[in-house]
Amino acid sequence: MANLFVISVLSLLIGSGFCCDQPSVDSSYYTSTNLKLGKNAAFVVELTVKCKNNVQDLKLYADVNGVQYPVTKSPEGNNYQVSWTAKNKKSPAALFDVKFFDESGYNALKKAARINQDANTVKPLFSVDVKHHGMSSGFWVSSELIALAAASLIFYVVCNERSAVIS
Amino acid sequence: MAPKSSNFSKEEELLLQDFGRDLSRKSSVIFYVHALFVSAIPLWLFNRIHQMEMLDNAILFVIGTIFSAYFVALAYKNNKFELKHKIAQKRSDGVAAELNAKMSETESKKISKKEKDERILWRKNEIAEAESMQLAVFYTNSLFLILLILSSFFFFKSYSPMPNYIISMVGASSITGLLSTSSQK
């Protein structure tokens, strides 16, 4: 009986220490849009997570379209970052719903995958929307060429004017 | 060799002042302000596109701008001198017609031919001065900027920003100044 009591108290303590209660999330993201920089699209999401029960050192996992990625934490504070790449053809312009799971959520997700259960039944800790505008190689004429063309046109006009005066 | 004579009449001195290579104070100020402004434009290019920090490269930028401004102002001066004569010749008939039209018949009879010619000359000089300055500034600026764009973004594109800035600014301003020393006969 005493053992059961100790185990329950310990579980409560441990559980409350590692479960984030009512997280508030501050997030920002970057997605690559320039095809000239690389054929794969790169995504980076940075976030700050504050739990109501002041849990530190959360271990988080991100789920993007059914693929899980580990989330790294900065040594100080509650700053987290996750990044991934995808082939450009597989990442057109879209709104990505990036779900974040704590350790228990991640285990539940893995279990659901093993027993062929729908992954949407596992509730994430929180989710972040990432808007990807798609990748493009930009305008087919470079900006310095346009600047040179404009400068050449002006120079041609002024040369004509000068020639008319000098002749 | 005949000694230099400083015994010019007032009219001759005025003519020298108007048609000589030396600039009036006002013209000098205008030219140097324009030259500084045009030489400062590339700073924005190199800061935003080549990512050169303004404070880190402040000394280089100041020296480069002053060096370029000197040669661009020299080009203004030379181009203006060359153009002024040609413009004065071209506008001669038009100015004479304008002044004759402005003067009434009685007024025209009152003033002597010499005074009329002086007025025409003065007006011709005024127009030629303004037009030659504007055309010289326009021409020199466009030449300088096109040389700068070519050297900085095409010929020396692969150079790191600092040598790119030095070569582009020195090259563009020097070539602009050099080309202004040529004269057409």
Is-contact B167 B156, C-beta < 8 A?
A: yes
Question: What's residue B40's pLDDT?
Answer: 94
Distance from CA of A167 to the nearest CA of B (A): 8
Strands A72-73 and A79-87: what pairing? Answer: antiparallel
Q: What angle do CA B5, B10, B14 make, to 5 degrees?
A: 95
The candidate with the shortest Cα–Cα distance to B19, out of B118, B94, B136, B124, is B124
Backbone angles phi, psi at A115, to 5 degrees: -95, 20
Mean local confidence (pLDDT), A85-112: 84
Where does the pLDDT of residue A1 fall: very low under 50, low under 70, confident under 90, or very high at 90 and above? low
Q: Judge if ipTM > 0.85.
A: no
Copy the structure tokens of residue B30.
Answer: 């205008």
Q: How far apart, in whole angstroms, are the C-alpha atoms of residue A73 and residue A47?
A: 10
Question: What's residue B3's pLDDT?
Answer: 45
Residue of B90, B135, B154 lying closest to A162 (CB–CB) = B135
Q: How far apart, in whole angstroms, are the C-alpha atoms of residue B172 and residue B65?
A: 12
Distance from CA of B1 to the nearest CA of A (A): 34
**How many beta-carbon contacts under 8 Å exist across A and B?**
39
Question: What's residue B4's pLDDT?
Answer: 47
Percent pLDDT > 70 in chain A is 86
Give the burial class of B174: count Cβ atoms within 10 A of its Cβ; 0-12 exposed, 13-18 middle, 19 or more buried: middle
Q: Is B86 on the interface with A (CB under 8 A)?
A: yes
Cβ-defined contact of A162 to B139 (cutoff 8 Å): yes
Cβ-defined contact of B90 to A144 (cutoff 8 Å): no
Using a CB-CB cut-off of 8 Å, the residues of chain B touching A141 are none
pLDDT string in tens for chain B (185-residue length): 444 445 666 666 656 555 666 677 888 899 999 999 999 999 998 998 888 888 999 999 999 999 999 999 999 999 998 888 888 888 888 888 887 787 766 666 777 778 888 888 888 888 888 999 999 999 999 999 999 999 999 999 899 999 999 999 999 999 999 998 876 54
Q: Is B156 on the interface with A (CB under 8 A)?
A: no
SS3 content of chain A, % helix, strand, coil (to 5): 35, 35, 30
Provide the whole-model pTM.
0.63
Q: Write out pLDDT tens, residues A10-59.
A: 555 554 446 788 888 999 999 887 777 777 888 999 999 988 888 888 88
Q: What angle do CA B113, B119, B121 make, to 5 degrees?
A: 100
Question: What's residue A69's pLDDT?
Answer: 92
Copy the structure tokens of residue A74.
Answer: 């900065």
Q: How far apart, in whole angstroms, are the C-alpha atoms of residue A62 and residue A81?
A: 10
Q: How far apart, in whole angstroms, are the C-alpha atoms of residue A22 and residue A12?
A: 17
Question: What's residue B1's pLDDT?
Answer: 45
Q: Is B67 on the interface with A (CB under 8 A)?
A: no
Q: Write out pLDDT tens, residues A125-138.
A: 899 998 888 777 76
